[in-house]
Structure 1
Amino acid sequence: MAPPAASVDIEGVTDTQAIVIPDALTINGVSARRAKAGKLNGGTAAFTSSDFFKGPSSGKPKAKRWDNYISLESRSRQPSSLKGAAKYLGQPGLISLGGGLPCAENFPIEEITVKVPAPPHFSEQACKESGVVLRSGKYDVSEGKGAYDLSIALNYGLGSGSAQLIRFVTEHTEIVCNPPYEDWHCALSVGSTSSLEQALRIFCERGDYVLSEEYTFASAVETALPLGIKFLGVKMDAEGLIAESMDELLTNWDASAREARKPRVLYTVPSGQNPTGATQGTIRRQAIYKVAQKHDIYIFEDEPYYFLQMQPYTGPNSPPVPAPKTNEEFLKALIPTYLSMDTDGRVMRMDSFSKVIAPGTRVGWVTASEQIIERFVRHNECGVQNPSGISQILLYKILDESWGHDGYLKWLINLRLEYTRRRDVILAACETFLPKNIVSWNPPMAGMFLWMTLDHTRHPSYPTSTPLSIKEIEDEVFLASVGHGVLVSRGSWFTAERSGFEAKELFFRATFAAATEEKMTEAIERFGSAVRGVFGTANGNGVANGNGA
């Protein structure tokens, strides 16, 4: 993953120097806007749009049109006739015999209750002692007890998602990203993997290539392959995807040799990248955006780990960096998103509650220009329809009715510190138990993964005339690790290119999100023992095959 030998001069088609990352909006401003708007009217299958909940555009430009980039499949999708009729449901006195919306009295759930932490006391013990019990009844809205109830959540909804949750994610997106163009919208999704599958179908035809990091999220590649779409890896360094390499690849694209048209899409995980843990800094993101402008590339910004950005790593014996004291400090500490610098409307940002609330909710959202969100909703209508109503009302109760934007940001600060501690625990274990003459790593700035490089040339077969291949050594280390009672992921599972790719380095991925701190330390100790066994190293930093560490 070393940088390319030559630097490529990048010049955007438009004035990319004029990109100004907008400041986050204040929570107070969002609250004032809500107060002015009055009571939310979001009944069963209520039509909704981010336009109902955004602040004024203040003269922002409109997004670029992507008519020539929309796939044949996506262009062929027409609005749902049945869901289109839902716009009449809000008419006073209307008796609906149109859509097949079951009567709520036949839903066998009268109420649900959940107990959640009261900010800022987020620990499990604090939740047990002082948590808040939230209740949702079947007819809370008609009884004047709330803005969302089970009669609405348990029925069919529209492809955009419920108005109640769309309002929250639209406001949250504006607070965090404040997109610099006017006609941006949000739509709910069934998590980021589903979002990606639909995005690929919107923008790609069979035979197309999608650019990504050289090592990327395995499920992304495996989602694309059955659609006839192949991933093509761009070289990486410690900060992730290299803009110059992307520019060079696109500038020299040979459609005849590749048997495919020039790529139109970049898929990237900018923060805590899966699997490498790399995080693109602000300058790197701006450089990649310039390349996207130059070659008219559309960007899929997959950011499940964005709010798992951690405190700077200061080393095993150094005092920690003080945590953000306020929500404003926290937001300023975050690296700006691609969406926040997207003057063209060439970014679809994929957000998810999977890594910050719970994966089983299966709820996320996408943000893009109105044109692209309209296509996304058409795909939703005849596919997933919308996320689970129970998940939506559960998230609404926690995020909107209980915590609010202020409490949610405090929860995200809490996660920042939790993951900082976990990362520091696994790094301390690596310092103690791994043979550093063989294994090296970069402390991750975000996410939940540690990417370890093993020096394959230290394998006992290398002094011989027939050394083992990197794949064979990877097999040895993986099976030895399992034999020692620890499971780590092979680097080869994450290659963007699934045919013809020849690894030049040996990698393994470990997560610091899953096990307890004690088990995580024990697992790294076991992995270190497995590596020593395969490489014949006498001790942690000692001699391997007579060669000094």
Structure 2
Amino acid sequence: MEPYAARIKDVLERRAKAGRFAPGVAAYSDSDMFKKSPSPDLPKAKRWDDHFTEECKGRKQCVLKQAAKHLNTPGLISLGGGLPSPSYFPFSSLSLSVPTPPDFSSSATAGSSPLRTITIGKNDIAEGKGEYDLAVALNYGQVTGSAQMLRFVTEITEILFAPPYADWGCAQTTGSTGVLETAARMFTERARGDKVLMEEYTYSTAQETMEALGIEVVGVRMDGQGMVPGDLRGTLEGWDVGARGRKPHVLYTVPTGQNPTGATLTPERRREIYDICEEHDIFIIEDDPYYLLQMAPYPPASSPPPAETSSLPSYLSSLPGTFLGIDTSGRVLRLDSFSKVLAPGSRMGWVTASAQVIDRFLRHGESSQGPSGFSQAALHTLLDRTWGHEGFLAWLANLGGEYTGRRNVLLGACGEFLPGVATWDAPSAGMFLWIKLDHTKHPRLADGILAIEDEIFHSCIARGVLVARGSWFRAASDGSEPQALFFRATYAMAGADAIREATRRFGAAVRESFGIKEE
């Protein structure tokens, strides 16, 4: 039996054995309640006290949240907590119309074919109609999010990633961007001169987050397969403390379908980077929102075929592995998100890390109170009650097929409309294409890469197309000139005809700037 299928079977068997699970308002939960009992030979995570900031170590657990664990005591009458009565919630039910497996066709997701309508009521638990209701979802809860949704994300983590150490856990989040700031405050602080290692081109908001906190970013060289392990090793082994201050002890990486380059680390390169981090005691923040958005290999044909719906087995076999999946010392804080695969407006995701790191993360999260109850109710109704684990994975496989078609259109248009100074690698995951322009062939090379980039960007705007400038993503705190000229394009939103027209306009701007005649 395939490992993924075996894990799904194990999860479903444990659920059946456990019976009905319908915890009430602000119920305490943690991943140990839902995980498979670890085997005795699994290692425990190392302690990270020497990596934590003073702020992180100083945060205490909310006493009111601690008191909430008594709410489910039989016969208890609570006068202690400020939880509003659900009878005053002006929402009696929430109904969702959703596609159901295996019909994830475009007409189904667009709502033009029959959908299934699912309703979650205010008092479903008390009335025996379900395991979750609005009386629980819309009240105050634990920072981990509801126990019902924590169970689902813990099980999906176990199915997809199977962390190879005993004391891992999950917590729900309000999206990965906010998590990154929390992680930065947990592990880095300006006063001690901390720095964060990143890919040389990376998510611009990640850099801006660090800069706002006074944390310097250190770019590590990339190629078509992502971060180059040899450059990471060279940066760490050659670090001059006297000249550059404290050696970095945190690595932030977007390892799959990387934003902005679209690069995906191979399993071999992932392992090499992890081993380097083990050797130099580097903590890894694995921000992987595009991991679940996998695509079929690109056929280099003049007219790429339309996308076909991916099968679940082929989808699962395409997953390239994660840092979490090889983490034996608990040095990875993994960020997952529903934003790219369901809806960004849900503002929901989850983190996975060692029990110690999750505990510290939750102490920081007390101020945000966890994800929205509406979002949790909607996603639980969709994922747990309607689709189930296999249905969710089938949705991801289908979504990968849809994105494969969009990517193929963009790649075909690039081959048709972009001049020879442009090169690119076909992404296998995510939603971005990284286009390199050979600046050495530009007639005004002496003006510098930033000036050429600026000219092409504004020429694109004048022509009615927006592409992202490569310099926006460059991890360089010293303000130095880039050594190469890049633009980022996405195939996530525009339709096929719009993608082709946008690429034609971009190509025209590039030709004009480089002085290349139309072919």
TM-score (normalised: structure 2):
0.96
SS at match of 2:73: coil
Equivalent in the alignment of 2:71? 89
Does structure 2 conserve the Cα–Cα contact (< 8 Å) formed by 1:25 and 1:178?
no
Q: Identity percentage over the alignment? A: 53
**203 and 24 in structure 1: CA distance in 2 versus 1, 3 angstrom threshold:** farther
Name the structure 2 match of 1:460.
443
* Cα distance in structure 1, aligned partners of 2:480 and 2:139: 48
- 1:159 aligned to which of 133, 138, 143: 143
Give, in angstroms, the shift of residue 28 of structure 1.
1.6
1:290 — aligned with what? 275
Seen in structure 2, the aligned counterparts of structure 1 residues 323 and 67 have a Cα distance that, compared at 3 Å, is farther
Tell me, in whole angstroms, the C-alpha distance in 1 between the residues paired with 2:369 and 2:306: 45
Q: Does 1:51 align with 2:37?
A: no
Instruction: Report how far residue 116 of structure 1 moved.
Output: 0.5
Helix, strand or coil: the match of 1:308? Answer: coil
Aligned counterpart in structure 1 of residue 174 of structure 2, from 173, 190, 194:
190
The residue correspondences of 1:275-286 to structure 2 (distance < 5 A) are 275-286=260-271
**Deviation (angstroms), 1:25:** 4.3
Change (3 A) 1:321 1:63: farther
Matched, 1:492 2:471: yes
- Is residue 143 of structure 1 aligned with residue 124 of structure 2? no
* Deviation at residue 183 of structure 1 after TM alignment: 0.4
Question: Do the aligned partners of 2:307 and 2:402 also contact (CA within 8 Å) in 1?
Answer: no
* Separation (CA, whole Å) in 1 of partners of 2:491 and 2:480: 28
Per-residue deviation, residues 382-413 of structure 1 (Å, max 9, x unmatched): x2110110001100000000000010000000
Query: AA paired with 1:50?
Result: S
Whole-Å Cα distance in 2 between the matches of residues 74 and 473 of structure 1?
44
Alignment partners' CA distance in 2, 1:175 and 1:200: 28
Q: Distance in 2 between matches of 1:338 and 1:103?
A: 44
2:359 aligned with 1:374: yes
- CA deviations on 1:52-107 (whole Å, 9 max, x unpaired) are 10012112111111111111000010000111101111101111111111111111
Q: Note closer, same or farther for the CA distance 1:108–1:124 as it changes in structure 2 (3 Å cut).
A: farther
Closer/same/farther in 2, CA of residues 157 and 343 from structure 1, 3 Å limit: same
- Whether 2:404 is the aligned partner of 1:420: answer yes
| 2:22–2:125 contact (8 Å) kept in structure 1 | no
**1:120 alignment counterpart:** 102
Partner of 1:544: none
Matches within 5 A, 1:55-454: 55-59=36-40, 60-126=42-108, 127-206=111-190, 207-258=193-244, 260-317=245-302, 326-381=311-366, 383-435=367-419, 437-454=420-437
| Inter-partner Cα distance in structure 2 for 1:360 and 1:390 | 11
Q: Does 1:538 align with 2:505?
A: no
Offset of residue 312 of structure 1? 1.0
Which shows bigger deviation, 492-501 or 94-103? 492-501
Amino acid at match of 2:408: D
Q: CA RMSD in A?
A: 1.7
Amino acid of the residue matched to residue 67 of structure 2? A
Work out the CA distance in 2 between the residues paired with 1:52 and 1:367.
15
Structure 1 match to 2:506: 527
Do the aligned partners of 2:309 and 2:402 also contact (CA within 8 Å) in 1? no
Q: Does 1:34 align with 2:15?
A: yes
Q: 1:324 to 1:244 in 2, by over 3 A?
A: farther
The C-alpha deviation readout for 1:288-336, integer Å capped at 9, x for no partner, is 0010011010101111000112111121248869978753442222101
Q: Give 1:123 deviation, angstroms.
A: 2.6
CA shift, 1:128, in A, is 3.5
Instruction: Give the Cα–Cα distance (whole angstroms) in 1 for the partners of residues 314 and 452 of structure 2.
Output: 46
Distance of 1:459 and 1:145 partners within structure 2: 68
With 482-491 and 36-45 compared, the bigger mean Cα shift is at 36-45
In structure 2, give the amino acid aligned to 1:511: T
Query: 1:160-219 deviations in whole A, cap 9, x for unaligned?
Result: 111010000000000000110000000001101011111111111113110010000000
1:86 maps to amino acid? A
Normalised by the length of structure 1, the TM-score is 0.91
Q: Kindly tell me: are residues 192 and 24 of structure 1, through their superposed partners in 2, closer, same or farther at Cα, counting changes over 3 Å?
A: farther
Gapped runs of 5+ residues in structure 2? none
The answer to whether the Cα contact below 8 Å between 2:310 and 2:398 also exists between their aligned partners in 1 is no
Whole-Å Cα distance in 2 between the matches of residues 325 and 428 of structure 1? 20
In 2: Cα distance, 1:428 partner to 1:248 partner: 38
Equivalent pair of 1:271/1:309 in contact (CA under 8 Å) = no
